[in-house]
Structure 1
Amino acid sequence: MRLFFNNRPIILSDIEKIDSSIVKIDDNVSFQSDEFGYAPVYYYKDDHEHHIFDNTKACLDLKEEFLDKQALCDFLRYRFIPDGKTLDKRIIRLGPQDRLILNEENIVFSKKEETIFEKQNRLSLKDLLIRYFEKIRKKEVHIMFSGGIDSTLLVIAAYLAGKEVFTYSIDIQENGFSEAKFRKDIIKRYVKEHKELLLSKEDYLSALKALIDKRDIPFIYQDTSAFVWLIEKSDIPADEVFFGLGGDEWFFGYDRMVFSYMERILSNRFDLDSYGSDDIKGLSSIILSEIKDRVISPFKYISKVFDQDIISKVLLSKVYPEKNNQFKDGNTVNSIIDFEYKQEFPFNQAVRLNSIQEATGKKILLPFIQEEIFQLAIGLSFEDMMRNGRKKDIFFKEFKDYLPEDILKKKKSGFRIPLKNWFESEAWDIINKLVLNKPSLKNILNISKLEYEVRNKYTSEQKWYIMMLIHML
């Protein structure tokens, strides 16, 4: 689509796919991305035209001279590219509610005004989730139900809000990957109708390859194609599907958050910068002896394990940068959650969600992604998030009267794909197809060396991220 504004051409590529708004106010036209940054919106200007498009390959062919090496490093570090950057120096990605304002002179990029969050504890997490479902007009709600604590809370909250709950699950017949036993009691108590489908290796690889062919932006999470497969096969009689995403991001559900918090605590006790990587093991043993003598928070998380490798991971886990952080008062919990809110969710999780939405035609709704729940989270201490070695302790505390005993005692595992058994042997064929589809990659990659290392050296996880990196190039 070509739009002329004051005789200047504006290129809008595949604009029907972009979930955004174009508004004309006085002499300005404002192009704004959606509330949470679900749908990717990119902007690029050359000598003669402005380009707005929904994927980085729609308009430009990445050449080595335009490769942003810092963005590449960020991808390898975070598994996504923060700050609205892309691998191409010329292209920016709009964050949630960012705007491109077209006036008589030019296009002006305007970032969303900083939201200042205040710590509030007016309502409990349980009350906020119940109220969310009470506001939904439809009687029936359809929830992706893994059996983990996040989706379990959605099922319970919807039931307590008086809804008829329909749930959908994937089962995987591999040792250690099935969560079916944890779903049974919840389904019996709170669910009107449940549908459970068995995902095979063949189903997964077929769905993965199809999604790679459709999508330009890499969906880093390995479960994305599995959820697409489940929604398509379940024939869900609704336009909206609920996911439990956001529980981990706001309430310290990821190891990276816990490790980073502990690293900062240790930084205050030890001069970590004076230790080289070769000294980490020695320092780890010193810290372990302290933990054994004085088991204090936050080290209760690992005190029962006393694993030197885990301590080493903690010491090397400087994951969260200090920049773009409204919490500059030294509150480490707040600064970590703030990074998840401003960077990880819009520039990583939103890609995953948009991939599912585009592939299935369903709108994905996230009850945990509410401003009030975020405000609740930033008012909590580390001990509220992590108590006696259990992540997201507040979830279990507030819903303890509704949770079966086996879930109360269950360790966090999350929905996982058996990547080693399902993907590792197929990885190079998929990667090679991506390379063959874009001959210009030969100018950036050493293909023969890449093939050797993928076939002989990389773990299944490393192969996955290499595949997604090449997918993005």
Structure 2
Amino acid sequence: MCGIAGIFHIETAKPVDPERVKRMTNAIAHRGPDGSGVWTAPGVGLGHRRLSIIDLEGGAQPMHSDDGALTLTFNGEIYNFRELRKELEAAGYSFATQSDSEVILHGWRHWGLDCVSHFHGMFVFAIFDARTKQLFLARDRLGVKPLFYAAIPDGSILFGSELKALTAHPALRREIDLSAVDDYLTFGYVPDHNCIVRGVSKLPAGHYLLLQLGQPLGKPVQYWDLDFSKRTRGSQGELSEELLRLMRQGVTSRMVADVPLGAFLSGGVDSSSVVALMAEASRQPIKTCSIGFDVGALDESEYAETIARRFATDHRSRKVAADDFGLIDKLAHHFDEPFADASALPTYRVCELAREQVTVALSGDGADEALAGYRRHVFHHKEEQLRGLLPQNVRGPLFGALGKFYPKADWAPRPLRAKTTLLSLARTGPEGYTDAVSLTNADQRHRLYSQRMRGALDGYRGETYMENLMARAPAQSGLDQAQYADMKMWLPGDILTKVDRTSMAVGLEAREPLLDHRLLEFAASLPERMRIRGGQGKWLMKKTMEGHLPHDILYRPKMGFVTPIDQWFRGALADEARALSSSRIFAQMDLFDSKMIAKAAEDHIAGRVNNGRLLWQLVMLEKSLAGLFG
């Protein structure tokens, strides 16, 4: 795992100052503490920070082809590089190293643009081809690894693994994109189709971008997508057998490393399944780690201990305080863009713990998105069945009127919030699901914004992109649409961003075996009854793992990392909540109505309304904006 950065003069091949490239890579030095490299030629400069994982001696970058025509800077891992190497050797290519980086170089020469379809892994890379004066940028299918890019006034394109690599370049204009603020307040993260800095783009997952000297900047090209529109057939036994085969394949392919390797273990279904399959494939005890909390209601460490004993892992656990909010400033620095998923705090702590003993850690991320494991999937599936009973022109007015007059009960569990359900049923499926995953709705945001902000947005709604994404999804059902949207927005924008930034902050490589694209393609083809049945999400996965994991691990209620932000803002962080209304950066940018922010803070502190999540969003937004524009 590494960090990359570079400059490409797309108009004319002007000289590139190597110090500027070095400045960009130094900004992301935490991603690669084991080494650095900068290479420049007329019109191009590539930089690299290295975290050594495979071929510790021979994998230094930027890496050149044997004839010097190709130069590569690469972040990630190609898990099938050994198989590809054999194929390329059979085609006449010779190798000087044992690294996956050299496989990418020869793969580009052999397959051209189609090389990305041959690579199984998590990656972003840039290849400069001196023969054609082209720069090829590519990102892995799911977006496990990030890549930002932007055009600057001197006619060059900047790119880097993190936004801070681009902002380290003095010619990048730092202007806020107000639509990204609305996206952030809608979802709690800035989705990949937007960026908080105007003019900066993120290369979408499953896309590449080909830059040609002397030609204008084009648009990214999609080379892979997840298709929910087809259904596979087979008995439960046959489908379970195939799912287990693909899970094993995902796990074993990600256990290749020349450095110590382990796993995160929360005691949930996903991480426990990964550890079970790792233990099955390893002759040595697997190194596992987990974080516990000093508040029993938030602590899952006993379940992790159960799995550790069952598979005789070398397990380490650490208790952290539930009021562990001292990381806020550090997280704001590492995320650059505002990021409001508070589970980033314990995720950072478990990465920190893992890094004490290993350099690579496998996680259970991805199964909920692939196999409909979130409670919101179960609710949406049921709502879609109800929507199918009445046409929209009847359902909308009927349930809309009922929902309008039904009392609000935010305190109740979701199934008992009849007002929420009625209002959701009044909407289309995409509108209802988008509202379910939104943190604040358009009316709430509108009341919070300043008059200038409302005018500047000119009717822009963060929800629109997701609603359209679901409507256009390659899908047969509303559940398919919801999972597709999660794969395209939530997964790269929240889950994978969280793991990438927190793991890279401590120099740890995190790998996600349940995001193997072959497993995801199979999961997307499963009949709905194999994903959700009897109110249970991930139904087939749980049935498949019954012979491997205890019943109480498989079927206990889903928890995950829970952070008590509501209590924080009524206690130790109450003053921070109050200070938001007089924020210098908010006032400077004229984003919000300070009186509305003050009211939101006081109502929460007094216990009249639960605004904890909103206040957390605003705190993280303020810190991000101060770091980028202050």
TM-score range normalised by the length of the shorter chain: 0.7 to 0.9
Aligned to 1:105: 215
Q: Counterpart of 1:279 in structure 2: which amino acid? A: L
Q: Secondary structure of the residue that 1:390 maps to in structure 2?
A: coil
Matched positions, count: 450
Pairs within 5 Å for 1:395-410 = 395-410=541-556
> Which residue in 2 is equivalent to 1:231?
351
Are 1:360 and 2:487 counterparts?
no
Structure 1: unaligned runs, 5 residues or longer: 285-300
Per-residue deviation, 1:424: 4.8
Query: How big is the shift at 1:23?
Result: 1.5
2:139 to 34, 43, 52: 34
The residue that corresponds to 2:483 in the other structure is: 337
Which AA in structure 1 matches 2:174? D
- Contact 1:21 1:32 (8 Å CA) reproduced: yes
**Could you tell me which of 191, 194, 198 is aligned with 1:85?**
194
Q: 1:127 aligns with which of 221, 227, 245?
A: 245
Q: Is the 8 A contact 1:390 1:411 kept in 2?
A: no
Aligned ranges 1:119-158 → 2 under 5 Å: 124-135=242-253, 136-137=255-256, 141-158=261-278
Q: Say whether 1:52 aligns with 2:158.
A: yes
The alpha-carbon distance between structure 1 residues 196 and 15, as it changes in their structure 2 partners (threshold 3 A), is: same
What is the Cα deviation at residue 157 of structure 1? 1.2
Q: Structure 2, unaligned stretches of length 5 or more?
A: 1-5, 29-47, 49-74, 76-123, 233-238, 408-412, 435-465, 605-609, 626-630
What per-residue deviation string (whole Å, max 9, x for no partner) do you get for residues 184-240 of structure 1? 3321110321111011145x2122332223431233321212222233245532211
Q: State how far apart, in whole Å, the 1-side matches of 2:181 and 2:389 are.
A: 33
Deviations 1:130-150 (A, max 9, x none): 233333345964111111111
The alpha-carbon distance between structure 1 residues 112 and 274, as it changes in their structure 2 partners (threshold 3 A), is same
Show the counterpart of 1:242. 362
Matched, 1:115 2:225: yes
Tell me, what secondary structure is at the counterpart of 1:85?
Answer: coil
Q: Secondary structure at the match of 1:253?
A: coil
TM-score by structure 2 length? 0.63
Equivalent residue, structure 2, for 1:443: 590
SS at match of 2:327: helix
The structural deviation recorded for 1:91 is 3.0
Q: In 2 relative to 1, CA 52–447 (structure 1 residues): closer, same or farther, beyond 3 Å?
A: farther
In 1, Cα distance between equivalents of 2:250 and 2:378: 28
**Partners of 1:22 and 1:30 within 8 A in 2:** yes
Mean Cα displacement is larger for which, 433-442 or 380-389? 433-442
Q: Is the 8 A contact 1:431 1:467 kept in 2?
A: no
1:280 equivalent in alignment to 2:407: no
Structure 1: which amino acid aligns with 2:126? I
- TM normalised by structure 1 equals 0.82
Relative distance call for 1:263 and 1:81 in structure 2 (3 A) is farther
Aligned residue in 1 for 2:617: 465
1:436/1:81 Cα in 2 relative to 1: closer, same or farther (>3 Å)? closer
- Give 1:61's aligned residue: 174
From the superposition, tell whether residues 147 and 454 of structure 1 become closer, same or farther in structure 2 (CA, over 3 Å).
same
CA contact (8 A) 2:263 2:289 kept: yes
Contact 2:295 2:322 in 1 (8 A): no
How does 1:159-178 map onto structure 2 within 5 Å?
159-162=279-282, 164-178=285-299
Which deviations, in whole Å up to 9, do the C-alpha atoms of 1:334-377 show, x marking residues without a partner? 22222222222222222212211321111110011011211221
Match of 2:376 among 235, 238, 256: 256
Match of 1:463, as an amino acid? L
Moved more, 424-433 or 406-415: 424-433
Q: Which residue identity is paired with 1:104?
A: G
**2:331 partner SS:** helix
RMSD between aligned alpha carbons? Answer: 3.5
Amino acid at match of 1:172: F
- Matching residue's letter, 2:402: D
Contact 1:147 1:180 in 2 (8 A): yes
Counterpart of 2:529 in structure 1 is: 383
Cα pair 1:424 1:463 within 8 Å, conserved: no
Contact 1:166/1:194 (8 A) holds in 2:
yes
Question: For residue 247 of structure 2, what is the amino acid of its counterpart?
Answer: L
Structure 1 partner of 2:204: 95
- Looking at structure 2, the residues matched to 239 and 350 of structure 1 have their Cα atoms a distance apart, in angstroms, of 18
Conserved 8 A contact 2:377-2:537:
no
**Cα distance between partner residues in 2 of 1:437 and 1:214:** 22
Provide the C-alpha distance between the structure 2 equivalents of 1:51 and 1:310, rounded to a whole number of angstroms: 46
Q: Equivalents in 1 of 2:9, 2:335: separation in Å? A: 29
* CA–CA distance in structure 1, aligned partners of residues 474 and 226 of structure 2: 12
The question of 1:22 aligning with 2:142 is answered no
Amino acid at match of 2:559: S
Q: Quick one: which of 551, 564, 570 aligns to 1:418?
A: 564
Give me the whole-angstrom Cα distance separating, in 1, the residues matched to 2:585 and 2:612. Answer: 23
Q: Tell me: CA distance 1:82–1:200, structure 2 relative to 1, closer, same or farther (3 Å).
A: closer
Counterpart residue identity of residue 467, structure 1: V
1:207–1:226 CA contact under 8 A, matched in 2: no
Q: Show the counterpart of 2:184.
A: 75
Letter in 2 for 1:14: M
Distance in 2 separating the partners of 1:110 and 1:166: 40
Q: Quick one: distance in 2 between partners of 1:92 and 1:371?
A: 24
- Residues 99 and 321 of structure 1, relative CA distance in 2, 3 Å threshold: same
Change in Cα spacing, 1:282 to 1:124, as seen in structure 2 (3 Å) is farther
- Equivalent of residue 371 in structure 1, options 499, 504, 517: 517
Whichever residue aligns with residue 29 of structure 1, its letter is Q
Give the residue type in structure 2 aligned to 1:318. Answer: Y
Query: Does structure 2 conserve the Cα–Cα contact (< 8 Å) formed by 1:8 and 1:49?
Result: no
CA distance in 2, matches of 1:235, 1:44: 33
2:582 & 2:263 partners in 1: Cα distance?
37
Q: Secondary structure at the match of 1:187?
A: helix
CA distance in 2, matches of 1:318, 1:401: 34
Q: Please tell me the residue identity of whatever aligns with 1:238.
A: V
Which residue type is aligned with residue 167 of structure 1? T
- The aligned residue for residue 31 of structure 2 is none
Residue aligning to 2:119: none
Q: Aligned to 1:170, what secondary structure does the other structure show? A: strand
Aligned-partner Cα distance in 2 for 1:408–1:39: 30
Shift of residue 322, structure 1, vs aligned partner: 4.4
* Match in the other structure for 1:292: none
Q: Distance in 1 between matches of 2:291 and 2:423?
A: 32
Q: Equivalent residue of 2:484, what SS?
A: helix
User: Aligned pair in 2 of structure 1 residues 231, 408: CA closer, same or farther (>3 Å)?
Assistant: closer
Question: 1:362, 1:88 → 2: CA distance?
Answer: 27
| 1: CA distance, partners of 2:356 / 2:524 | 35
Question: Is the contact between residue 242 and residue 365 of structure 1 (CA under 8 Å) also seen in structure 2?
Answer: yes
Q: Relative to structure 1, is the Cα distance of residues 259 and 324 closer, same or farther in structure 2, using a 3 angstrom cutoff?
A: closer
CA distance in 1, matches of 2:404, 2:178: 36
